[in-house]
Structure 1
Amino acid sequence: MSEALPTTLDAWLARLEAAHPLGIDLGLERVAEVARRMGLLARPLAGRVITVAGTNGKGSTVAMLEALACAHGLTTATYTSPHLIRYNERLRLDGEEADDATLIAGFAAVERARLDGEPVSLTYFEVGTLGALWAIARRVPDLALLEVGLGGRLDAVNVIDPDVAVITTVAQDHAAFLGTDLEGIGREKAGILRAGRPAVLGSRDLPRSVRRVADELAAEVHALGEAFGRDGDGTGWTFRSLRDQPPAETQDASTCAQATKEPLLGTDPSSITDLPDPGLPLDNAATALQALRCAGVTLRPEACRRAFNEVRLPGRMQWVGQWCLDVGHNPHAAAYLADRLAAHPSAGRTLGLLGMLADKDAEGVIAALAPVVDAWVTATLDGERGRGAEALADCLEGQGAVVLHRADSPAAAAAWLAGRLAPEDRVLVCGSFFTVGEVLGWLAPSTPAGQTDTDTSSREVAP
């Protein structure tokens, strides 16, 4: 008799966490086999698919792509990872989190396909990705936005051929899986590029290997500073196309299952002025605009302005009262965070609440944030990749930082700090999705991520 499948989302997630011996098992063979059994490779997933890879900036780029698409009246499906509080955050349909029933149906579809023939072992992330793709394919939205989880070439998301591929930044992270050589990391990120299709490169400082892969594929390269750019900072900035943008072309049916697509809305003006500050990196905002243009979307200035005014991304420079929460967990992200905090000095102390995984570069993150943080509280992160508060405190003190307290968890660290804050103080919570998610839940335990009463979300408003 076959085993009964779980009936609740929590039960499914517990099952998936225990089902595969490795949390991360890079490779597409197993995922592609199950995807074929599910019919995901035989027909279009959406009117257009945009896949986004990069060390930092993926989440903000995807959030702005989604906001822009919705403002233009397009139907959307967005898959991201990891989540902060609820697993449902990973799949958004027309801007709303997927409900439990949708996720459960996707998991069940994956399980049936996985066992239809020789059983295939899948990780937690792989099952989640295939389940989300199944849910997206049932809707066939105008636009599917897929965020790579790790790397690019061997990530489960890359089982789907994108119509437009975006690479935001390349820096060191996930060294145990991607190594420390930036040229090698760049090649892995560039694994999402496809022959003859638009490749939007959203950083002026990418490794040479990214462009080499694009050239080998004869991809249509749209690089920041070459094909598009921006003028100005903050509110009132301008997006500019630096070369003519041709209409989206019909794909060759012999090379792509998602063939014979017409432009979604046509072509658009080459510049958009007087854009509001979305509270997220403006290079990523310009990259999102260019990616939509490459997907054949007509950009309407008023819709773009509305989208940038309304976009929200929990856990990225998210203010909740005196607390600033940011998931930055590598030196590149920490340097950006330090610059943004320095631009808004605090009248009181800036205290850091830091919790990091053991495989992250804690020394590099601490060095980047040292100029803007006066003192620290460290928090233990449990689990296979966890790091203790004591070990993190040793890293801080080794760089001359002041450590006020060592806590058993991010929530315990937040509770300790909460009773010791002056009205003019602020707290930076950072180092991991786990750290930010737990503290965000502690600050607003009954409210989904990003929806607290005092939340300014991604808006950079100093308390």
Structure 2
Amino acid sequence: MIPNSLSAWLSHLEQLHPSDIELGLTRVKRVAEQLGLTEFDNAKVVLVGGTNGKGTTCAMLESILMQAGYRVGVYSSPHLIRYTERVRVDGQELLEQQHCDAFAIIEQGRGDIALTYFEFGTLAALQLLKQAQCDVILLEVGLGGRLDATNIVEPDVSVVTTIDIDHVEWLGNNREDVSYEKAGIFRTNKPAICGDYDTPQRLIAHADHIGAKLLLANQAFTMSLQAKSWDWQMGDKQLTGLPLISLPLQNAATALATIAQLDLNVSEAHIKQGVLEAKLAGRMQVIQTSPTVILDVAHNPHSAGYLVEQLKAKTNGPILAVVGMLKDKDIKATLAKFDGVVSQWYLADLSGPRAASAQLLAQYTPAETTQVFKNVELAYQQAIADSEAQAVVIVFGSFYTVAEIIDRQQKG
């Protein structure tokens, strides 16, 4: 029986494969080739991987290219509130029925091949983006790179934003091994951009081995921060007076390097306006003032470190932290980034098999400034109640944690 709603389809997808994750391209590529979803003849394709910064890099690319008049399609994951967030065309989510129709095509095309939730969703997204007849398609890698379902597509440019340790059981427990997995999205004779300021040797060696055109941050392209703006340079291309934004400038610089390799008609005015207007939910997202409430999906040491830098630069009052995390993350190292920065901790249980308990998180925060709660809502309510007008409440730790507060806000 064919599901008749998006929720029914998603329930169906969850039951198709015994594992949430099964890395490998054999099964998903076979279905994609049967359905003609591995190449996009009339569109430029950018594959964006990395530990952190994939979403913000895609958001800036999308904004700049739309300013230049291009029809841009984006596939990203995970979503915060609605599954339809995962596919955007010209900045807009598609209808639930369009997703259902794409799922039906994939269901018919897969035959008896078992696909994971992410693999099935990736194929459906490729189907939607092909139908949309985009000029540029931006594909965010789900996990790793080499064996991720998005890697079945042939990109014009491949991007690795940053490299840090995450998903240890799948990618390895050191940056060199992780970088090799990320570098799996590079292609022979194609631009391969790495925005990490300390690029591991295994990534460089792999790019050299396959003959990719490797372009490294701080070597092939650079950025410099000024008092009220920032500058970017790549060879003889130079942009000055770029606007300061809340999204990481490191990712903005990587996005500009990517634009430079796409051979598209993008002006300096398009870039400045696109950078200024780029936004992404759950990344340094301010949802209220007095007290200021900031949402950020930081969930590993690298992203937590960036969040701490931003908080130190932009806030003067006491910082209260509402935190919920997954147990497969490096909880100790992530929370350690906030030592001496957070004055009060409000730790929340999340739900689901991967959830860490608030009691587990509390092992890594000072007992005298820590409270534990059964859910994010209760933790958030108490943090707001305890906050003075000049305080900052930061909600972080997981997409799930941030999603609960965004959902709360949208429902009023």
Compute the TM-score of the two structures, normalised by the length of structure 1: 0.86
Equivalent residue in structure 2 for 1:425, among 377, 391, 394: 391
Partner of 2:283: 316
The alignment partner of 1:396 has SS state of coil
Partner of 1:156: 149
Asked whether the 8 Å contact 1:114–1:120 carries over to 2, the reply is yes
Asked whether the 8 Å contact 1:45–1:133 carries over to 2, the reply is no
The offset of 1:46, in angstroms, is 4.7
The offset of 1:181, in angstroms, is 1.9
The offset of 1:140, in angstroms, is 2.6
Partner of 1:375: 344
Asked whether the 8 Å contact 2:336–2:364 carries over to 1, the reply is no
In terms of mean alpha carbon deviation, does 225-234 or 45-54 score higher? 225-234
- Over residues 157-207 of structure 1, what are the superposed CA-to-partner deviations in whole Å (9 max), with x where a residue is unaligned? 001011100011110011121120211110000000000100111122121
Match of 2:196, as an amino acid?
Answer: S
Asked whether the 8 Å contact 2:295–2:396 carries over to 1, the reply is yes
The reply to whether residue 193 of structure 1 matches residue 183 of structure 2 is no
1:424-463 residue pairs with structure 2 within 5 A?
424-445=390-411
The offset of 1:298, in angstroms, is 3.1
Distance 1:373 1:428 in 2: 9
1:121-270 residue pairs with structure 2 within 5 A?
121-233=114-226, 235-241=228-234, 243=235, 270=237
Q: What residue ranges of structure 1 are gaps of 5+ in the alignment?
A: 245-269, 447-463
Equivalent residue in structure 2 for 1:327, among 289, 297, 319: 297
The offset of 1:49, in angstroms, is 0.3
Partner of 1:458: none
Distance 1:146 1:46 in 2: 16
Match of 2:246, as an amino acid?
Answer: G
Match of 1:107, as an amino acid?
Answer: F
Q: What residue ranges of structure 2 are gaps of 5+ in the alignment?
A: none
Distance 1:340 1:401 in 2: 25
Partner of 1:296: 263
Q: For residues 358 and 294 of structure 1, do their structure 2 counterparts lie closer, same or farther at Cα, with a shift above 3 Å needed? A: same
The alignment partner of 1:287 has SS state of helix
The offset of 1:232, in angstroms, is 1.8
Distance 1:235 1:131 in 2: 43
Asked whether the 8 Å contact 2:320–2:342 carries over to 1, the reply is yes
In terms of mean alpha carbon deviation, does 172-181 or 352-361 score higher? 172-181
The alignment partner of 1:239 has SS state of strand
Equivalent residue in structure 1 for 2:359, among 381, 390, 398: 390
Distance 1:45 1:87 in 2: 27
Distance 1:353 1:318 in 2: 14
Distance 2:220 2:342 in 1: 38
Equivalent residue in structure 2 for 1:86, among 75, 82, 92: 82
Match of 1:8, as an amino acid?
Answer: S
Partner of 1:457: none
Distance 2:368 2:151 in 1: 42
What CA RMSD, in Å, does the superposition of the two structures yield over aligned residues?
A: 1.4
Distance 2:221 2:194 in 1: 10
Distance 1:291 1:86 in 2: 29
The alignment partner of 1:271 has SS state of strand
Asked whether the 8 Å contact 2:167–2:329 carries over to 1, the reply is yes
Match of 1:436, as an amino acid?
Answer: V
Match of 2:149, as an amino acid?
Answer: A
The reply to whether residue 352 of structure 1 matches residue 314 of structure 2 is no
Asked whether the 8 Å contact 1:376–1:401 carries over to 2, the reply is no
Partner of 2:376: 410
The offset of 1:416, in angstroms, is 2.8
The alignment partner of 2:411 has SS state of coil
The offset of 1:394, in angstroms, is 2.2
- Over residues 215-251 of structure 1, what are the superposed CA-to-partner deviations in whole Å (9 max), with x where a residue is unaligned? 011111111122211122474211211x25xxxxxxx
Equivalent residue in structure 1 for 2:306, among 298, 316, 336: 336
Distance 2:261 2:228 in 1: 25
Match of 1:315, as an amino acid?
Answer: G
> Percentage identity across aligned positions?
39
- Over residues 91-127 of structure 1, what are the superposed CA-to-partner deviations in whole Å (9 max), with x where a residue is unaligned? 0001111211221111111101112xxx011111111
The alignment partner of 1:145 has SS state of strand
Asked whether the 8 Å contact 2:315–2:392 carries over to 1, the reply is no
Equivalent residue in structure 1 for 2:106, among 80, 96, 110: 110
Partner of 2:26: 29
Distance 1:424 1:45 in 2: 54
The offset of 1:345, in angstroms, is 2.7
Which structure 1 residue ranges, 4+ long, deviate > 4 Å from structure 2?
none
Q: For residues 377 and 121 of structure 1, do their structure 2 counterparts lie closer, same or farther at Cα, with a shift above 3 Å needed? A: same
The reply to whether residue 305 of structure 1 matches residue 301 of structure 2 is no
Distance 1:401 1:199 in 2: 48
Asked whether the 8 Å contact 1:45–1:136 carries over to 2, the reply is no
The reply to whether residue 6 of structure 1 matches residue 3 of structure 2 is yes
Asked whether the 8 Å contact 1:45–1:137 carries over to 2, the reply is no
Asked whether the 8 Å contact 2:106–2:123 carries over to 1, the reply is yes
Match of 1:198, as an amino acid?
Answer: P
The alignment partner of 1:7 has SS state of coil
Q: For residues 16 and 169 of structure 1, do their structure 2 counterparts lie closer, same or farther at Cα, with a shift above 3 Å needed? A: same
Equivalent residue in structure 2 for 1:98, among 94, 99, 109: 94
